[in-house]
Structure 1
Amino acid sequence: MKRAKIKKEEPESKVRKREYSGEDEIPDRIPVEIVTDKGKEFYNAQIQRLFKFHHIRHYTPKTELKAAMVERANRTLKTRLAKYMTFSNSHRYIDALPAIVFGINHTVNRGIGKKPVQVSNGEFIGDTVRISKLRKTFDKGYEKGFSEELFKISDILPSNPVTYRLKDLKDEPIDGKFYEQELTRYTESTDVFKVEKILAKRRVKGKRQCLVRWYGYPPEFDSWVNESELHAI
């Protein structure tokens, strides 16, 4: 972690000089991947050249959860920093920062029931989840009640923080990456699927069936169900 400088670019010659001279004391442990918002301090030619030079993958999740996610993480870090500075009777925390971050990563996260460092690829793959209502943007061509629709975790990315890829129940990949705070685990035994409307009716082998539009789901999920399985709630 390093103090961010002002949001402006430097001349090409100066950037190249800094890259090769080690003026900024590039640490021995260079990150493999960096997740940021769309701020100009990250999306400018200078920083992008630096990422490319050090082979760092840089991306911004397609999400509008920015405030909730970042503020929660910042609050956790600020709380620990405040405790440290009170205990040490000093406002200097940079030397203790690695140990503080280590502590956060090795503390059980209530959302996933594990320490962040214990999360590994494949551990939750296949789990069924809902998307938080804080999530606003999807590239799925259907924008209605996403918190009602169910999704499957298809991949877990070892980024920091951990992010997830999803697919719908028809195995169609969902664009973007999701934070743990954006997902709520689905418990089958306690849920009921809501019907938005009945589109048609028919009789098959003496049984009455209804073609239903499921609440919060796109039209491709319309399906026939026995009328006896529908209940008023």
Structure 2
Amino acid sequence: MSDKRVMKRVYYDPSHPGSLGGVERLCRALKDETGERVDKARIKDFLSEEDTYTLHEPARIHFPRNRVFVPRPLNQFQADLCDMQALSEYNDGFNYLLTVIDVFAKKAYVRSLRKKTGTEVTRVFDSIFEDSGTPEKLQTDAGKEFFNKTFQNMLKKRGVIHFATGSDLKASVVERFNRTLKTRMWRYFMAKNTRRYLDVLQDLVHGYNHSYHKSIKMAPMQVECTVENTLQVFQNLYGAVPVRYSEKLKMNFKPGDVVRISKVRGVFDKKYEQSFTEELFTVHECVPRVPPVYRLKDYDGEPIEGAFYEAELQKVNVAPDKIYAVERVLDERVVRGEKQKLVKWRNWPEKFNSWVTADNLMNV
């Protein structure tokens, strides 16, 4: 079965058992209808050209990710800002908590802020570094509170390498600490019938730092910078370090492949809505990690920040006669007697807005 016209007829007939589903459903329906052997590869190629399939294919959220090895204390910190505005009136107008954790030692530091400006974040980070010592690297999200001139200058003076979280998930170690801190905080609220945390914030942090942490098999305060202690913590954290690369490592994408990116999802997003971007990207580089990751470029050839796992990408085949949806018409003009329209393409960045001949637009 290789006739795409038959595949299209079956797939887009709402009453047909093989309609509007996945590869297996269409394959089974075609075999039942024709009695012929069905080539799944051809069905996959057909569906990879259909936006109705590629945009709505379920996106995976939980899948293996690269393991990051942090070798010693003060090697890498993670930081985050917790929004506490709902409790501001009970805590002297403080709206945020800056949480910082040593990824290796699991030791945490917390400061309260009224504003999340670059100046305020720099001030409290300086106070944390005075307590903790200066790390080699700092990982945060890409928020403006961290990526601003004041904060960056402070890090540069201290010689700290700063980088942003590059995937849909946030920095996992500090996020886990945030959950622990808030759990203890809300239990305290219930026990004391209060919503004021400011007076006991450092007590809560002290309790965390002196309590047993199952990943390092000791309390964070027991982690030291001695060789013997560092080796013990490393062994507790990572055990036997696996081989990172293999000659047999399978890469399912190659440079030049056209892909969509999985959308960032919340817990309550409707699974039947679009799961992948309408904007298309091109694989630029294959990085042989375990599991592999890929670097992308947009259709203008500009690199996309970060790297992407295979589960976050979906390969598509772009048919020569592919029709792109227009979001709206922005302007009109006549050039040498030819009517043209400036269009915004649906769910593509504005930089891709372009003039097209009016005759090339169609109503669907």
TM-score under structure 1 normalisation? 0.49
Whose strand fraction is larger, Structure 1's or Structure 2's? 1
